[in-house]
Amino acid sequence: MINLTDENFDKEIQNTKKIVLVDFWADWCLPCKTFSPILQRIAKELEKEIVFAKVNIDEAPLAATKFNVEEIPTIFVFKNGKLIDKSIGLKTEIIIKQWLKTILEEYTKKDIEKTIKQYEKYAEENGFKLNPEKNVVNGIAKGLLANEKRYGERYCPCRRVKGNKEEDKNKICPCQWHKKEIEKQGHCLCQLFYKNT
C-alpha cells in the first residue's frame, strides 16, 4: 500500500491509469485498526486492478480537509484522478469487495436483468426466493458478472477465489454451501437466496 501525504497526494492520484482506493485513517482510531487487515487482504486480491493507498489524517491534514473527511475510516475511490465514490465507516470484507467489484465492472442493464432472471428461475425450481432487496440482488449480480469476466466463472462474490479452478469450482454460484446455509440461517452467505416463508 502506498502511504500518501499532503505533498504526494495529488501526484499519486493523478499519475496512475488504475483505479485508486484511498483509506483515510489514524493511529488512535480503533475501527481503523480493525479495518486495516480487511483492506490488506482485498488489496492483495485486487492488486492487478486497483492501487491501494493510505492517508494518516494526523500526518496529512490538508488532504483530509480537502475531501471533508469527518469520520474515519473513510475510503475514497478515484478514477483518472477524479473522485468517483466513497464509503464511510467500518464495513465487512464481503461488502467492500462487492462494492469494489461493482466499480471495476460496468455492465448493461440487460446483462444484469438476464442474470437475475436466471437465478430467480433457479430459486423457484428449488423452493426458495431471491433477496427482496432489489439493490442487494443487483449488487450481487454485478459481482457475479465481474467474477465471470475476471475468472471465467460466476464465482460467488462473497467467497475468496484463489485462482485454482479445481479448488474454486465449489464456489460457482449457486455454490456448494448455499442450500445448507439457507436451511440453517434463512439465507445463503451473500444473501442472494432466501428461504420461502
**CA-closest candidate to residue 90, choices 68, 67, 73:** 73
pLDDT tens digits for range 29-87: 999 999 999 999 999 988 888 899 999 999 999 999 999 999 999 999 988 788 888 99
Any alpha helices (H) in 46-133, and if so which ranges? 61-66, 93-104, 109-125
At the fourth CATH level, which superfamily is domain 109-195? Ferredoxin thioredoxin reductase catalytic beta subunit (3.90.460.10)
User: Quick one: angle between helices 109-125 and 134-151, nearest 10?
Assistant: 100
**How confident is the model over 14-42, as a mean pLDDT?**
91
CA neighbor of 96 nearest in space, from 86, 111, 108: 86
Q: Which three cell numbers stand for residue 109?
A: 442493464
Superfamily of domain 2-89: Glutaredoxin (3.40.30.10)
Give me the residue spans of the domains in the chain.
2-89, 109-195
Judge residue 132's burial from the number of C-beta atoms within 10 Å of its C-beta, 0-12 exposed, 13-18 middle, 19 or more buried.
exposed
d(CA 183, CA 37): 31
Active-site residue set: 29, 32
pLDDT at 105: 67
**Helix, strand, coil fractions of the chain, as percent rounded to 5:** 45, 20, 35
